[in-house]
Every structure is written in C-alpha cells, then in structure tokens.
Amino acid sequence: MLPIEEINTLVAEAGPLDSEILSVSRIADNAWAIEYEPVMVELEYDASRGRLLLQTEIGVVPEEQKTQLLSAMLNVSFLWRESGGLHLAMAGREGAAMMMVDLAGDELTTPSIATVAGNLVERVLIWRGIFASAMKTNQENTAMPSAMNQAFIRV
C-alpha cells in the first residue's frame, strides 16, 4: 500500500497528462477532485485496502423509465469484468445515480489515473444522454442503447 502523500503526487501529476483536465484539487486528506468540462470526478483513497476509488455523478434517474434504467445500470455493474471494473449505483433511495471504478496495486500510476478518469468522463456523458432521452419520451426502451458493446461500458 502506498503512503497518502505518494497517492497525492500521482493524482496531482495526472492533470498535465490530459488536456481535457481543467484542474486537480485535494479536497481532503485522502480525497481529490479532477475537473473536466462539464464533469467532476472525485477520487478517494482507502489506505486500509490500498484502493483509489474514482466516482462521478450521472444524475437523478428519470421516473419515466426508472425500471428500465435501473435494470440497465445493474446489468453494467454485473459486467464488471468486461467493463474494467465499472460499477453503477444509487446514492440513496432518491439520490443520484453514480458511476465508479477503483484502482489498486500496479494500477495506481499517474497515467492510469488520468486514463481511467478520462474514460469515466466519456461513459458518464453517455449515461447522462440516456437519462436526458428518458426524460423526453415515455416510449419503452427508447433511452436504452441498442447493444452493450465495449465502447458503451469499458473504462
């Protein structure tokens, strides 16, 4: 397990590796925020497990297709091997849908942090589009992607 200051250095050095990163901020002893336009990726280091969690908010699940969207979210989480460890969850019963992935061991490098954060942003923008489509229509499955392909889920 890496000391917290080494993790801080790895995260801070991720900024210059991706031109899409607007800023990298330390927001707590074991937490950081990487800002993209228009997405904020939060990172939290669990020293006891040696894992760095990257997470971002998708948004509130639209009521119009809540069942279908929650089902799709569960399916993506179930495919964690194919998705590079991507998980989707709810932040409480009425809370926002969240997207997260964690890095550990050899994965804890500056390039991997920058790459995974950027990939997370791409995926969350896809899901935000799906949620926006669901709010505009009541037709079943309109907001669902036609196939669960690697570009859709892979972090």
Domain residues for 93? 4-153
Residue 42: beta bridge partners? Answer: 33, 55
pLDDT (mean) for 117-136? 93
pLDDT of 20 higher than 50: yes
User: 């050899």: which residue's tokens?
Assistant: 106
Looking at the structure of the chain, the number of domains it has is: 1
Residue 96: beta bridge partners? Answer: 60
CATH code for position 118: 3.30.1460.10
Predicted pLDDT at 130: 92
Distance CA 138, CA 155 (A): 30
| pTM across the whole model | 0.86
